[in-house]
Structure 1
Amino acid sequence: MSVRSAGTPRTELIADTALALLTERGMRGLTHRAVDEAAGLPQGSTSNHARTRLALLETVVRRQAEREAVVLDPDELPDPAGGREALIASLALAVHRYLSGDFRQLLVSRYELALEATRRPELRAYYDAAGAQFREPLTAMLRAAGSKDPERHTLTLVAWTDGLLFTCVAGTYHATVPSEQDLRAGFRELLRGMLG
């Protein structure tokens, strides 16, 4: 398991370690004691930071959102004036990054958190708020690309993208990483169908 360097502030170390444990061991393997042990911290450190199971899960959701936000740097987001091709290029770049390298593990932890949020209403609100920060810019980009129904098109685009990511990480194509060119072709076809 890789966690951040020893010079990292303790709260980030706890969050990164908890996220890594969630990816490696699943929800049952994520405990306060396991985080302390994996991070090399004195027993009780994680409990001091996140007293309850819910607080620990909220810490993980927050860190998940922070880590996912760097998949596509804000400077790489398309200028709405760039039109549909700029949007396609950005989406393909982000998905390709998710499916290659270290970002792939973030998808595993995201699936674990999504399933847990279906069982815990108190986590659901926190999880949904974290997800909204990604959906809202996408809706704005679709509106700028000419969508007549950007909310519905956002749902379609997110569902298609999430399905692709799941299939290539945990599904029957788990060993497949589509090329960025193939991803562009897929997004182009999808957007053509939605936007005309």
Structure 2
Amino acid sequence: MPTSTPVGSPGASRADLVADAALALLAERGTRGLTHRAVDEAAALPPGSTSNVARTRQALLELAVRRLADREARVLAPHELPDPAAGPAGLVDALALATHRALTRNRELTLARYELALEATRRPELRTYFDAAGARFRDRLTAMVTAMGSADPARHALSLAAWSDGLMFSCVAGSFSSEVPGPEEVRAGLQELLEGMLGR
């Protein structure tokens, strides 16, 4: 996401170049446009380079899922991560910032995530990788709402994630794609939801 390495960036590993190109192709062309040859071309690599990194289509998809998780995990800089001492306001600020970035400067990654999520519904072997990648965020969010006194942390974490995911889908791929809300609108919605959960 914001601190991600662009395709062709100096210092990126060959695997990262391949994965970043795969994510860009998924966002631009969907899963049908994801081929080893297309990734070679998008990453400006010699023919056959992608096959050397990920021999099969399944391996290429798994590589893309792992890279997506790494890039999305860096959506917030360390100083932007929520401070437990800040209480619900800190969590709302961080979630709103991350969600708004997914709608704007990280829109390509959001589209790639939807493509991978749909592909995982058809490939049980990919589902394992996709769910494991998502568990990092889910576990962190559950821990945060637990620290804030949630009476049902797992359910509340799911509701927060579902609200954010629903907003992102509606504004990136759904019928609200031309009406992306501003940061304060996103924050207001999250604040209302979290306050209702915590009974405040």
Report the TM range for the smaller structure's normalisation: over 0.9
Alignment match, 1:174 = 177
How many residues are paired up?
194
Report the Cα distance in structure 2 between the residues aligned to 1:133 and 1:173, rounded to whole angstroms. 29
Q: Say which SS state the counterpart of residue 181 (structure 2) adopts.
A: coil
Report the Cα distance in structure 1 between the residues aligned to 2:91 and 2:19, rounded to whole angstroms. 32
1:24-103 → structure 2 map (5 Å cutoff): 24-101=28-105, 103=106
TM-score of the superposed pair, with normalisation by structure 1: 0.94
Query: Is the contact made by 1:23 and 1:105 (CA closer than 8 Å) also made in structure 2?
Result: yes
TM-score of the superposed pair, with normalisation by structure 2: 0.92
Deviation digits for residues 98-124 of structure 1 (CA, Å, limit 9, x no counterpart): 1122x0111100000000000000000
Offset at residue 74 of structure 1 (A): 3.4
User: Which residue of 134, 137, 140 corresponds with 1:134?
Assistant: 137
Report the Cα distance in structure 1 between the residues aligned to 2:7 and 2:16, rounded to whole angstroms. 9
Q: Which amino acid aligns with 1:106?
A: L
Q: Say which SS state the counterpart of residue 148 (structure 1) adopts.
A: coil
**Is residue 21 from structure 1 mapped to residue 35 from structure 2 by the alignment?**
no
Structure 2 residue runs of 5 or longer lacking an equivalent are 1-5
Query: Is the contact made by 1:99 and 1:165 (CA closer than 8 Å) also made in structure 2?
Result: yes
Query: Is the contact made by 1:19 and 1:64 (CA closer than 8 Å) also made in structure 2?
Result: yes
Identity %: 65
Q: Which has the bigger relative contact order, CA under 8 A and spacing at least 6?
A: 2
Q: Which amino acid aligns with 1:114?
A: A
Q: Say which SS state the counterpart of residue 4 (structure 1) adopts.
A: coil
Report the Cα distance in structure 2 between the residues aligned to 1:90 and 1:7, rounded to whole angstroms. 29
Offset at residue 8 of structure 1 (A): 2.9
Structure 1 residue runs of 5 or longer lacking an equivalent are none
Alignment match, 1:118 = 121
Report the Cα distance in structure 2 between the residues aligned to 1:7 and 1:94, rounded to whole angstroms. 26
Residue 7 to residue 74, structure 1, CA distance change in 2 (3 Å): closer
